[in-house]
């Protein structure tokens, strides 16, 4: 039997009756938009994340756009972020009219390098009279938290906001704190392949402060005021569907157990892959936990990666590259005039990284076969 990269079918077997019951509930009450499942989900996930407010929304991308709109980001603002992430992180900055400023990443965690962040903030202050430093979006890539104790003071002491892009890390902890309790606003995604995913698109924005919460609720529905036909600001249609919220409520029941299983899979990989020559397994910083949205390893160089991925493919084992082209080198950001060599750590990782199958239902035998194929 072939090994799936992510196994949503085995998961579905665990929750089938709860999912069907939840969806049936929505079909019966008929409140497809803003049904009671949404406030239920918001209450559960914000409590799980030790944060006061959760605002369900249409996707992780919507979550980031809503966060930046609520924080008043616009033209002339510089927002510092990672180039080693999914497009949405930086795209949302440009979509609200601001300018992404890319910061190199740490060679071990692949998350924002605080030292480079310090340099890039100073550089914009000193040399970019056209830009005002406004905020930082830290990304918890592959499910591992960024270095918040270093990043948060760098942002806040310079008067910048901190947004946590927890699209890949919902359920992870930084020094014991849930990642969505960090920063001024945290955003997550419920894309089906995410650690907590729905059966379509979905996301959530988390905030501690009442004022931001009210702004997010308004922005989610076209900038509504007291009622939906009073529009007091610009917003979007950023709602999550009631059916997706019902799916998430069913999946959330088994989510804590799945986090434990993901860690067990990661631990087994760590042991099995130690004997693959030239392969570097991921390291989670001391005191933190990852939810292993991806299990990404590093080859020695791009030729070695091609060779290892070829061995997997010969054994019918899927693998994938996240992310082959850093955002600063994407055509969509050509106007920012970055060139190869500008962010060397990120570029080096992008040439070497690849992801192995990772999901809570991955068995020991399959993992042993994956390790054997890599050694072969």
Q: List contacts with ligand PLP (CB under 6 A).
A: 59-61, 85-86, 88-89, 139, 165, 167-168, 189, 191, 201, 203
Nearer to ligand PLP, 11 or 82 (CB): 82
Q: Which is nearer to ligand PLP, 89 or 289 (CB)?
A: 89
Closest CA to 84 of 369, 360, 321, 356: 321
**Of 291 and 374, which CB lies nearer to ligand PLP in the complex structure?**
291
Instruction: Tell me whether residue 184 or residue 366 sits nearer to ligand PLP (CB atom).
Output: 184
Contacts with 268 (C-beta within 8 Å, 6 or more apart), sequence order: 364, 367
Nearer to ligand PLP, 136 or 272 (CB): 136
Encoding tokens for residue 209?
A: 């402060």
The nearer residue to ligand PLP, 37 or 201, going by C-beta atoms, is: 201
Inter-CA distances, 106 with 97, 135, 246, Å: 28, 19, 38
CB 316 to ligand PLP: min, Å: 26
Task: Give min distance, CB of 191 to ligand PLP, in A.
Answer: 4
Minimum separation from the CB atom of position 21 to ligand PLP (A): 25
Bridge partners, 354 (sequence order): 297
Is the Cα dihedral 179, 265, 302, 332 positive or negative? Answer: negative
Number of residue whose CB is nearest ligand PLP:
60
**Min CB(227)–ligand PLP separation in Å:** 28
Q: Is the dihedral of CA 104, 172, 71, 199 positive or negative?
A: positive
CA distance 96 to 74: 6
Give the C-alpha separation, 18 to 281, whole Å. 36
Question: How far is residue 203 from each of residues 193, 216, 230, 273, measured CA to CA in Å?
Answer: 13, 13, 25, 34
Shortest CB 144 distance to ligand PLP, Å: 12
Question: What does DSSP assign to residue 237?
Answer: B
**Closest distance of CB 18 from ligand PLP, Å:** 23
């Amino acid at each position: 039997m072939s090994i799936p990269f992510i196994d949503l079918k085995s998961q579905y077997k665990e929750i089938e009756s709860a999912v069907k019951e939840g969806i049936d509930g929505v079909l019966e009450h008929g409140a497809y938009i803003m049904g009671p499942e949404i406030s239920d989900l918001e209450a559960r996930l914000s409590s799980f994340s030790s944060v006061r407010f959760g605002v369900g929304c249409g996707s992780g991308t919507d979550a980031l756009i809503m966060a930046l709109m609520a924080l008043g980001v616009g033209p002339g603002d510089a927002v510092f972020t990672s180039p080693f992430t999914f497009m949405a992180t930086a795209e949302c900055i440009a979509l609200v009219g601001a300018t992404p400023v890319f910061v190199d990443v740490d060679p071990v965690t692949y998350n924002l390098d605080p030292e480079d962040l310090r340099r890039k903030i100073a550089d914009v202050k000193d040399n970019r009279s056209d830009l005002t430093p406004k905020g930082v979006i830290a990304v918890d890539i592959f499910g591992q938290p960024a270095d918040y104790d270093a990043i948060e003071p760098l942002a806040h002491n310079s008067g910048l906001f901190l947004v946590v892009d927890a699209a890949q890390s919902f359920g992870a902890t930084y020094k014991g704190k849930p990642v969505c309790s960090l920063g001024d606003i945290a955003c997550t995604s419920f894309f089906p392949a995410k650690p907590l995913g729905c059966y379509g698109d979905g996301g959530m924005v988390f905030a501690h402060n009442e004022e931001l919460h009210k702004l997010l609720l308004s922005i989610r529905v076209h900038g509504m005021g007291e009622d939906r036909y009073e529009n007091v600001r610009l917003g979007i249609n950023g709602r999550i569907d009631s059916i997706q919220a019902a799916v998430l409520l069913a999946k959330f029941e088994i989510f804590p157990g799945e986090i434990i299983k993901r860690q067990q899979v990661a631990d087994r990989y760590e042991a099995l892959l130690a004997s693959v020559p030239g392969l570097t397994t991921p390291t989670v910083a001391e005191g933190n936990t990852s939810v292993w949205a991806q299990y990404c390893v590093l080859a020695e160089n791009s030729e070695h990666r091609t060779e290892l991925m070829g061995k997997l493919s010969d054994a019918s084992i899927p693998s994938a590259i996240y992310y082959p082209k850093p955002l600063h080198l994407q055509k969509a950001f050509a106007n920012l005039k970055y060139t190869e060599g500008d962010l060397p750590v990120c570029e080096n990782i992008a040439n070497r990284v690849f992801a192995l199958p990772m999901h809570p239902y991955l068995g020991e035998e399959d993992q042993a076969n994956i390790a054997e194929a890599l050694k072969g």
